[in-house]
Amino acid sequence: MRPPSANWFKEIEQSRDRVYNEETNGAFSIYPWLAPALHPKLRSLIERWGVEKELNAREPVLGQVNDKVDQLVLVRSGITARIFGSIYRQASPAMAFSVPGRLACGNLNFFSHRPCIGSYVAVVPSVVVCVPQSLVLRMCRSDADFALLVASEFEKIALSDRLGFGLLALLDIENRFLAFLLSWAVTFGHLEMQGDEGWVRMPLPLRGDALRAVLNCSSATLDRCLTALKQKGDYIVEGDVARVKLERLKPIHRWIRNCEETTDAPPRVSLTNLFERIA
């Protein structure tokens, strides 16, 4: 993926779900492929005790692509990938991603210390903060409430990944792309009205090989999907900014929410209300 502008990097550091979670005690819904925003307490701990590291695009997060995962790694800027497989050995690895304020890795084997499955690399030039798992684990052993918070945060990431694999198995390419746009839009988008029609404006999402890996499709299939949406007037790209019709996202939002248990904890919020709540 070609690195976008400096302004794009600044925009993806300001996420809607981080603000929403801080106002609602973590009530933001789970979406596919994009790791949920980390709780402020755990995020500040990693930032305070961790070591910062700069990564070039396609550079392994941990030094070597197959290094043992024994760190909790927070993304400070840029985007990193969580890959089932290897971009160096497989033509079509499955990928999810992490943006600023999310974990790049370290959650999957935190308690068991078992070997992780896959690899972790930077998608664009990125900055991460690394802290030993053992240090955070010691805090968990001495503070039961903190241990429950950590387990809850890691559970949310697992739920997001599970949802992503489910969508790959059940949906066609157009709906998979709309699900990806939904995840990106609810994280970074802002509602704009053009007459009576709502549009979501957001920094340009992943594209090219990175997007193809997320959606698990060929380049030709992805090109046809993007062309069809643009020709219908549902998706517009202008430089480092993208816009999508809000109405185009509502059906896939309902589909994803209907995959969940019927419960009001946390309370369900309509897509329109979600954008209106955090302006």
- The gap from C-alpha 59 to its chain's centroid, in whole angstroms, comes to 19
pLDDT for the residue numbered 102: 95
Residues 203, 12: Cα–Cα separation, whole Å? 7
The rounded radius of gyration (Å) of the Cα atoms in the chain is 18
Give residue 266's pLDDT.
67
Helix (H, G, I), strand (E, B) or coil at 82: strand
Per-residue pLDDT of the chain (279 residues), as tens digits, is: 565 788 888 888 888 766 666 666 556 788 999 999 999 999 999 999 999 999 999 999 987 655 689 999 999 999 999 987 655 555 566 889 999 999 999 999 999 988 887 789 999 999 999 999 999 999 999 999 999 999 999 999 999 999 999 999 999 999 999 999 999 999 999 999 888 899 999 999 988 889 999 999 999 999 999 999 999 999 999 999 999 999 999 999 999 988 877 766 666 777 887 777 655
Token pair listed for 204: 């340009």
Alpha-carbon gap, residue 165 to 198, rounded angstroms: 30
Taking CA atoms, 141 is separated from 49, 103, 127, 138, in Å, by: 18, 21, 29, 5
Residue 275 burial by Cβ neighbours in a 10 Å radius (0-12, 13-18, 19+) = buried
CB atoms within 10 A of CB 146: 16
Residues 71/61, Cβ–Cβ less than 8 Å: no
Percent helix, percent strand, percent coil in the chain, to nearest 5: 45, 20, 35
- For tokens 């066609």, the residue is 172
List the beta strands (DSSP E) in 115-249.
119-122, 126-132, 190-194, 197-203, 235-238, 241-245
| C-alpha neighbours within 13 Å on the C-beta side of residue 171 | 22
Q: Cβ contacts of residue 72 below 8 Å, gap of 6+?
A: 46, 50, 103, 105, 106, 107, 110, 130, 131, 132, 133, 136
